[in-house]
Amino acid sequence: MALHVIVGKGPVGMTTAEELVARGHEVRVLSRSGGRSTDAVEHRQVDATDADALTDATRGAASIYNAVNPAYHRWAADWPPVATALLTAAERTGAVLVTMANLYGYGRPAGPMTPETPLAATDVKGRVRIRMWNDALAAHEAGRVRITEARAADFVGPQVPAEHSHLTRQLSALRKGRRAWVIGDPDAPRTWAYLPDVATTLATLGTDERALGRAWHVPSNPPRSQRQALTDLAAAMDLPPVPVSGIPWPVLRALGVVVPMMREVAAMRHQFDQEFVIDASATTATFGLTPTPWQEVVAATVGAVPMTA
């Protein structure tokens, strides 16, 4: 089978590596810190902003997967050099560039988001993602590189660290029967992307030429509000539901004065105070991919976290 190179060894990168290995491919993971190679996955220490180093490490690859995850408050500074280096490496090597993206570029949606929904974001992080996509698409249309992109909603699943999951971080409150404080409107419908489904989508896009030249949404279950999702998690642990409340926005803005992460969250209020839902029907129709059933997602999520957490 072919060589596939993943840049970034966080949850997305490593879950995608597992999926590609399961499909019989040779997998190499590049990261700033490197890692211990195994018979299944080779690790190399490479700076994702160094186009020459990336080119050397990706020669012979069928696809390169952008699974980099800069600090949330540093997107404007950290994403452009990474995106440029990855695009350069893909152009030099001829590998397909598969980017793991999100929904920020759409801005405030007026309904379910599809890959054809206009990229109309006006906030800083949304504009960063729009520029990344437009630069990659322009290079693709000029015939310099082959690209595709997967866009996913908020991650859920046992692979996602609690500090990065709107749901998993609440498991302690559920187990103690305490009120869960969430960001935004607890009753706003939301799409959740199960990380193994994200990996399956990325691996499919990187191995199927029908994916090229456009973005695709990760197949996900029907939307569940944060209150509904937390009630589902509690039920999976045979626990009663707990009260769920939204953290007041003035509190988050005040925290943002000293905590950069909270400042950035407050700036993305539009993602939390209304329906934030995707339509991935094009991905299902084209590739036959469907989401893992929600009850399996819930069971896996609660089953992987110790009861003492």
**Is the same domain home to 177 and 205?**
no
Write out pLDDT tens, residues 55-101: 999 999 999 999 999 999 999 999 999 999 999 999 999 999 999 99
Tell me the per-residue pLDDT of 265-299, one tens digit each, with 9 for 90 and over: 888 998 999 999 999 999 999 999 999 999 999 99
Q: For the chain, what is the domain count?
A: 2
pLDDT of residue 261: 84
Specify the pLDDT at position 152: 98
Q: Does residue 97 sit in the same domain as residue 235?
A: no
- 78 and 163 both lie in a single domain: no
The verdict on residue 199 lying in a domain is yes
Lowest mean pLDDT among 12-21, 189-198, 236-245, 249-258: 249-258
Question: Band of the pLDDT at 306, cuts 50, 70, 90?
Answer: low
Statement to judge: residues 135 and 269 lie in one domain? no
pLDDT in tens, 114-156: 999 999 999 999 999 999 999 999 999 999 999 999 999 999 9
> What is the SS3 assignment for the chain?
CCEEEEECCCHHHHHHHHHHHHCCCEEEEEECCCCCCCCCEEEEECCCCCHHHHHHHHCCCCEEEECCCCCHHHHHHHHHHHHHHHHHHHHHHCCEEEEEECCHHHCCCCCCECCCCCCCCCCHHHHHHHHHHHHHHHHHHCCCCCEEEEECCEEECCCCCHHHCCCHHHHHHHHHCCCEEECCCCCCCECEEEHHHHHHHHHHHCCCHHHCCCEEECCCCCCCCHHHHHHHHHHHCCCCCCCEEECCHHHHHHHCCCCHHHHHHHHCHHHCCCCECECCHHHHHHHCCCCCCHHHHHHHHHHCCCCCC
Q: What is the CATH number for 239? A: 3.90.25
Domain membership of residue 67 (yes or no) is yes
* Same domain (yes/no): 239, 256: yes
Tell me, yes or no, whether 244 and 210 share the same domain: no
Domain that holds residue 266: 157-190+222-278+293-303
Domain with 117 in it: what CATH number? Answer: 3.40.50.720
Q: Residues 204, 255: one domain?
A: no
Same domain, 47 and 88: yes
Across the chain, mean pLDDT equals: 95
Q: In terms of domains, do 138 and 230 share one?
A: no
The answer to whether position 51 is within a domain reads yes
pTM given for the model: 0.95
Same domain, 229 and 169: yes
Q: In the prediction, which pLDDT does 260 show? A: 87
